[in-house]
Amino acid sequence: MTVPPPPPIIAVTSPANARVVEIERFAPGPVTCDGKALAGAVLVAPMPNVVSRFRAASPSQPLPVLRYVFTIDANGQPGTIRPDTSPVQPLFYLDRSDLAPSIAASRFAAGQQRTCTVDFATSLTAVAEVPLQTLYALASRPGPLAAPPEVYDRIRPSGSTCVRGPGQFRALNNPAFETIAVPPGDWAWAFFAFDVMPDGTPRNVRLLGSSATTALDRAGENALARNRYAPGTARIGCLYHYFRVGSRPAVPADFPADTPPGTDDTIPACRIDPKTISGLLSGQAYPRAFQRRRIEGVAAVRYDTAPWGAIGNVRVLASEPAAAFGETAVAALTSAAVLPSETGYRGCVTRVRFRLPAGTHHG
């Protein structure tokens, strides 16, 4: 008796498990200091993010309100920024990375030192329902991550024939970014559409959305109009953007006054082998969300060493303006080593100043 072959397996994708791309936004509420609302605060809005997940993982509970605690010193400088762990914890796929940097970039009036809180309301919205202005901002964010195709499908002008771009460029211009003033840590952007003639000349340059930084809007339009592309087929509805982050970093004044002095230069058993912290010394080990907003910081870390050079018991003593700098220093030192010595040492202290590399903060 011949056994018939099994029927072929047919894969069926259920709409309930379809991939969903949503835009995550955080809306800051009033700043409260010592139980009273703070007047005159200029809060920098966190950057929007993309959340990609499956519909089956849709949140079954209300999205959380995230509270952050921070101080404002006598000069109006925010610092000691920490998430408050008392509210409900956010769902695992939410990206909170720009909340502390946005507080650090915010501006407050000088006065007496205060302890303050701010709440961020969380929202997740389908790409099709998000205002175009938000999507233009998302596509113009500084950093290496591009917006997903779902975003460009929504913001591309109707009838666009420029899905693959305007063609190879022959001359590419930038605005004179150094002449465009942006507050430290803040972010200005301008998002454009344009057409390209058969001779490679841009035409009909138009501003689709911006952060309302007039100097960048005008300079970007003029620079884009001077671009030249390879001759070929005419294209309509091409897209381009410029951004600029505040030209000088928001630097904390110094280490907190009660931070103990460093011992790594004075005690041989505490001297870290520089080859084992090359990323920290070169600036590659840097809190990326703060690097994106060009915000510098400091961290003081305590650790113990063993005679054979191992480092252990690493912990943060100080981290300003936010915890991310201490966390980055701890991660670097945990895998570091000191030169072997006859005895180890307990209570080594190293101080780290996070200086921004001379990288691009516009584009």
**What residues does CATH 3.30.2420.10 cover in the chain?**
149-245, 268-354
CATH code linked to domain 149-245: 3.30.2420.10
Residue 118 burial (10 A CB sphere; 0-12, 13-18, 19+):
buried
For domain 268-354, give its CATH number from 3.30.310.10, 2.40.30.10, 3.50.50.60, 3.30.2420.10. 3.30.2420.10
Which pair of tokens denotes residue 203? 């035409």
Select from 113, 105, 5, 13 the least CA-distant residue to 56. Answer: 13
Q: In the chain, pLDDT over 70 holds for what percent of residues?
A: 88
The whole-number pLDDT of residue 14 equals 47
Say how far apart CA 131 and CA 298 lie, in whole Å: 38
Choose between 257 and 230: higher pLDDT: 230
Put simply, whether the predicted model's pTM sits higher than 0.95 gets the answer no
pLDDT tens for 268-308 read 999 999 999 999 988 889 999 999 999 999 999 999 999 99
Select from 77, 74, 80, 78 the least CA-distant residue to 113. Answer: 74
Select from 194, 193, 145, 196 the least CA-distant residue to 169. Answer: 196
Select from 21, 23, 18 the least CA-distant residue to 125. Answer: 23
The whole-number pLDDT of residue 12 equals 46
The whole-number pLDDT of residue 11 equals 47
pLDDT tens for 293-351 read 999 999 999 999 999 999 999 999 999 999 999 999 999 999 999 989 888 999 999 99
DSSP 3-state of 319: strand
Confidence band, pLDDT 50/70/90 cuts, at residue 51:
confident
pLDDT tens for 213-223 read 999 999 999 99
pLDDT for residue 46 is more than 60: yes
Say how far apart CA 66 and CA 27 lie, in whole Å: 10
Q: Which of 9-23, 166-180, 253-267, 330-344 has the lowest mean pLDDT?
A: 9-23
What are the strands, taking DSSP E only, across the chain?
19-33, 36-37, 49-54, 65-72, 78-83, 114-126, 169-171, 187-196, 202-210, 228-229, 235-245, 297-305, 311-320, 345-354
pLDDT for residue 63 is more than 90: no
